[in-house]
Amino acid sequence: MTFTDWLPTLMIFLPLAGSLLLLVTPKRFRDEVAGFMAALTLGAGLAIWRGGGSELFRWDWIPPLGITYSVQLGGVSLALALVTALMSFIAILYAARRIPNPGPMLSLILAMETGLIGIFAAQDLMLFYVFFEDALIPALLMLAIYGKSGRMAALVKFAAYTLFGSLLMLVSIIGVRYIGGSPTFAMTDLKQNLVQGPAQTWLYLGFLAAMAVKLPLWPLHAWLPDFHEQNHDSGIPDVMGTLYKVGGYGLFTFAIPLFPDASLELRPILMGLAAFTALYAAWIAFGQTDWKRLLAYAGLSHMGFVALGVFSLNETAVIGAMYLLAFQNLYTGALFLSVGMLQERTGSLDTRVGGVMTQAGALGGLTMALWFASIAVPGMAGFIGEFSILLGAYQVFPWLAFIAGITTIAAAAYALSAFQTTFWQARPAGGLRVPDLVHTEWLILGLPLAVAVLFGVYSAPALNLMQPAVRAVLTALGGN
Amino acid sequence: MLQPPDVSLTPLLPVLIVLAGALSSTLLGFWLGRRTLTFINLAATLLSALSLGTLWNRGVSSFGGSLQADNAALLLAFVILTGALMTLLVTLDTAWRARVSFPEFDAMLMYAVTGCLLIAFSGDLIVMLIGLEIMSLSGYVLATLQGSRRAEESGLKYFLLGAAGSAVLIYGIAFVYGATGSLNYAAIAAKASVLAPENTGILVGGALLLLCGFAFKVALAPFHQWTPDVYGGAPTSVSLFLSTVVKVAAFAGMLRVFGGALADAPGWHAVLQVLIAATLIVGNLAALRQLNFKRMLAYSAVAHTGFLAMALLGTPQAGGAALTYSLLVYTLMTAAALAILAALQRSEEGVSVSDLRGLYHRHPAYAAALAVCLASLAGLPPFAGFFSKYLVFQAAFQNGYEWLSVLAALSSVAALVYYLRPAMLMFMPDRTPAREYAHGQRAPTTLTVTLGVVGVTALGLLPNIWYSWVANPAIWTLLVGP
């Protein structure tokens, strides 16, 4: 067994090791240690990319129960893991700067990163479930320790929605194996023992419950705005929360190969729900006056797009969905951080602060550029994703693609009007002077933007990574 | 020629060691202080656990099969002894605060453990009944021993309802004997499948009466009403004992009777699934409304009964393994959580959930440990509570109770909410003065808590440590004895 086979495992557990290491690190060096571990994780990810993705690594974790530790990072999962590692690194950079005594926060970010990369790497359903739930605990603790006054309600809502879905998924997972008769929970075995007939639909619905909560998909999205609103002002937990929206990925990697017939059968309903989610969220976002709630709904709208792409089962659309899922993490996350910087300067998350651009030009400029990425202006990564989704979805259900297409216009409306009231207009008389970006803040907003622009202009590396993986998954549908 | 009776004491060894501890507490109590006796009992418990190892895989039995030290008995006895050990450690710290620190307390505790072990080792219904009665009678005394109005009320309730449960159980035994003409598990199992039609009704009646009797003992709804009052009213260390060791023993009895003797008997599955469904709903919803942490844990014990009993609906092979794995995990996490409560409460009434706010900033280690226990109770990976939940879901699902798995999954959402609230409150900042006992953090309690937390974490990351012992299906096909 060579070193490269261990790289995915290393990438998964390095952050956790860092998280535990922080508990015993002296206060002075915590920032450096956390940053170093996050950078090392990102480095491990880049090393895997350089090798063109990893092979499947399999070890029998609990042999009598048929649960294996199967991990693989390649294609879509590698792209998502890389984005996760990058954004966790950036979240740590900002946490070190913004939060006084950031020890617990840094620990939790790293612990959550392990869960998230694990979700992407897992090639065994039970292992996927374990990582899926593992990521929940740090997310809850971040909210509990750093949240605002209404956090308990938000916390309970978030956890209850998540578990509602994932426990139904657990029953489904048990069913997938026993009704299908597979010897283990590893994907390679499950794919050879597919469940047939109506049972497949029921199991798919159980699986869907978890993924719809985590996408999120209307009507299971209600936890999302409260979760973001009640989290710490800096926006760091929101970055991690955005990364945790793994529903689209779960559907793509597990649901399509395991429930091909059910995916086709339920396609019209699910695509309809997805298109509605995109439009509905954009509509609600338009009325928000709190930046975090606005971003929450904007994220929800993006996720409606992702869902539309995945549910359409069309190759172009699925590639677009995965592209969007990966890169929206960059700019949605960076936008949450820019809102955190805005809050640090103005003391408010309100969208009607006014005149920030006149005093903090760089903050305003970078935020605007990030918003352009978010509303899918050509030349940014978001455009490639959204355009491919619409192109693919159009071939399946033109009308639904049209409804979702309206969203892109609505997105421009809500984003630019909120931006205008905050950054332009007049600075109110007597308002505090807003200082511009300093030190690492440039890097924190600039790096995600640079990546979003790079992959918006030169998308080949990312597409080359994702395309074979998507093709492989869609062949399960019999070339449809 | 008279046959010499089949009396071999080897299989009785673990039971006898514990009994010796109980007797020593009874007799030496005139001369020695309670702490010394507790250390003797701790040693007896450990020795008894070691003696289990010597009997492993030997499958010895005694008294003509009435008492059997097969692997199933040894595994269940291990769980019982783990719970007993943790209880004893906790009482070292908290018994004097609960005003129950006298030798009789230890004696009663060890008699109860003796009874519990007898249930696990039982080979026929009479031995099981004797064990159950020893356990229950000692339990009634333990619940009452404190001498406060609350404890008296709790003990009396426990006694009255427990006695009613025992009566029903004995009536059930009579029915089963009437139908099959035997009290021996193996003989009952052999007869149950070839019964004459007129006897089948009697057997079903007997099985249902036994089920009701056991439902009283393990607290399955609607026979659970005594549980919150008894667990809430008794001293916390006693609640710990009742909700772990006694419940494990009652489940051991159920596994022997329903997984072994009556495995092929008709009728009881349908009733049990209704009882489980009611328990899951009632236990979880009631726990959701509790403001007192101790009472919440009492209802959580009821809810967990529902989860654990799901394993009995599986095939004996899958169910026995799932139940035994889950019982150990349940014991570890419940005992550790109650140990922390016993250490930190100001009075035996427990603490209110809101009093836990900011506990992490005052007692970081205990708060983190309690959070781990609660996460495990809620069934979140990577803690072992998740695997026990998964195993019982799977056992029920495989045997055709899909709807029950779905119901259990949904009721777990309620469970998560009531475990989450105290767990998260502990990490929130707090500016009000501490409301817990300041000197509760003591070595024996810490040892118990460490045992529990390390146990649930290790069993969660590598479930095979314990599961590989229980996984062999051969253990559970021979539940009735060879």
- Which of A133, A164, A206 lies nearest to residue B380, judging by beta carbons? A133
Q: Report yes or no: B410 at the A interface, CB cutoff 8 Å.
A: yes
- Cβ–Cβ < 8 Å for A176, A148: no
Which is more confident, A350 or A81? A81
Answer whether B364 touches A (CB < 8 Å).
Answer: no
Chain B nearest-CA residue for A64: B471
Judged by a CB distance cut-off of 8 A, whether residue B402 touches chain A is yes
The per-residue pLDDT for range B451-460, each reduced to its tens digit, is 999 999 999 8
Q: What pLDDT does residue B84 have?
A: 94
DSSP assignment of B5-61 equals P---SGGGHHHHHHHHHHHHHHHHTTTS-HHHHHHHHHHHHHHHHHHHHHHTTT-EE
Name the one residue in this structure whose structure tokens are 């511009």: A436
Query: Cα–Cα distance between B173 and B167 in angstroms, integer?
Result: 10
Q: Chain A: residue nearest B416 by CA? A: A160
Residue with tokens 């969203």, as numbered in its chain: A407
- Contacts of residue A151 in chain B, CB cutoff 8 Å? 428
Over 90: is that where the pLDDT of A355 sits?
no
Place of tokens 């030190």: A439
pLDDT exceeds cutoff 70 at A478: no
Contacts 24+ apart (CB under 8 A), B196-201: B200/B266
Distance CA A279, CA A388 (A): 18
In a domain, B241, yes or no: yes
Q: Mean per-residue pLDDT for A355-381?
A: 82
Residues of B in contact with A168 (CB under 8 A): 406, 409-410
Cβ of B393 within 8 Å of Cβ of A174? The answer is yes
DSSP state of A246: -
Q: What is the mean pLDDT of chain A?
A: 85
Determine the average pLDDT of the residues in B242-254.
93
Report the residue from A140, A160, A170 with minimal CB separation from B424: A140
**Domain spans of chain A, in order of start:** 266-480
| Banded pLDDT at B480 (limits 50, 70, 90) | low
Partners of A24 on chain B (C-beta within 8 Å) are none
Using a CB–CB cutoff of 8 Å, tell me whether B424 touches chain A: yes
Of B398, B412, B427, the CB nearest to A163: B412
- pLDDT per residue as tens digits for the range B265-308: 888 889 999 999 999 999 999 998 888 999 999 999 999 999 99
More confident residue, A353 or A30: A30
Contact: A137, B398; criterion CB under 8 Å: no
pLDDT digits (tens, 9 = 90+) for A407-416: 888 888 888 8
CB contacts, 8 Å: B394 with chain A: 174, 178
- N-to-C CA span, chain B: 27
pLDDT digits (tens, 9 = 90+) for A168-195: 898 898 888 888 888 888 888 888 888 8
Give B380 to chain A, closest Cα distance, Å: 6
Q: Does the residue B350 lie in any domain?
A: yes
The reported pLDDT for the residue numbered B345 is 87
- From the list B382, B391, B397, the residue facing A130 with the nearest CB is B382
Query: B465 CB near a chain A CB, below 8 Å?
Result: no
Nearest Cα of chain A lies from the Cα of B320 at a distance, in angstroms, of: 14
The domain containing residue B388 runs over which residues?
A: 10-477
Number of Cβ pairs < 8 A linking chain A and chain B: 88
Task: State residue B95's pLDDT score.
Answer: 82
**Closest partner residue to A155 among B406, B420, B462, by Cβ?**
B420
Pick the residue of B370, B391, B404, B424 with the most A CBs within 10 A to test the interface with A by mutation: B424
Structural domain count of chain B: 1
Distance between first and last Cα of chain A: 38
Asked, for residue B2, whether it belongs to a domain, the answer is no
Q: How far is A461 from chain B (nearest CA, A)?
A: 36
- Quote the ipTM score: 0.86
Please check whether residue B185 is in contact with residue B480, taking contact to mean a CB–CB distance below 8 angstroms.
Answer: yes
pLDDT digits (tens, 9 = 90+) for A194-233: 888 888 888 899 889 888 888 888 888 888 888 888 888 8
B220, two tokens: 């399955």
Q: Which residue has the higher pLDDT, A419 or B1?
A: A419
At residue A479, does pLDDT exceed 60? no
Residue B9: Cβ-neighbour burial (10 angstroms; 0-12, 13-18, 19+): exposed
- Which CA distances in Å does A436 have to A97, A422, A427, A450, B25? 15, 15, 15, 19, 76
Asked whether the beta carbons of A349 and A337 are under 8 A apart, the reply is no
The Cα B187–Cα B184 span in angstroms is 5
Minimum distance, in Å, between the CA of residue A340 and any CA atom of chain B: 21
A408-442: pLDDT as tens digits? 888 888 888 888 888 787 777 777 777 777 788 88
Query: Which region among A289-293, B113-117, B212-216 has the lowest average model confidence (pLDDT)?
Result: A289-293
Percent of chain A predicted with pLDDT > 70? 99
Q: Are the Cβ atoms of A64 and B386 closer than 8 angstroms? A: no
Mutate to test the interface with A, among B326, B389, B394, B476 (most CBs of A within 10 A): B394
The answer to whether A64 contacts B420, with C-beta atoms less than 8 Å apart, is no
- Measured CA to CA, the distance from residue B481 to residue A454 in angstroms comes to 71
The mean per-residue pLDDT over the stretch B444-449 comes to 91
- Residue identified by tokens 């209110």 is B352
Rounded percentage of chain B residues whose pLDDT exceeds 90: 43
Helix (H/G/I), strand (E/B), else coil: B258 = helix
Please compute the mean of the pLDDT values over residues B338-360 and round it to a whole number.
87
Please write the tens of the pLDDT for every residue from B87-143.
999 999 888 888 888 888 999 999 999 999 999 999 889 999 999 999 999 999 998
Distance (Å, rounded) from C-alpha B314 to C-alpha B290?
A: 32
The distance of B194 to chain A (nearest Cα, Å) reads 31
Peptide bond into A216 cis (omega under 30): yes
A480 pLDDT above the threshold of 50: no
Tell if the CB–CB gap between A134 and B402 is shorter than 8 Å: no
Query: Is residue A236 within 8 Å of A99, Cβ to Cβ?
Result: yes
How far apart, in whole angstroms, are the C-alpha atoms of residue B360 and residue B423? 10
Closest approach of A39 to chain B, Cα-based (Å): 25
B167 in A contact zone (CB under 8 Å): no
Residue B4 lies in a domain: no
Contacts of A156 in chain B (CB under 8 A): 417, 420-421
What is the pLDDT, as a whole number, of residue B482? 60
User: In the predicted model, what is the mean pLDDT of residues B245-255?
Assistant: 93
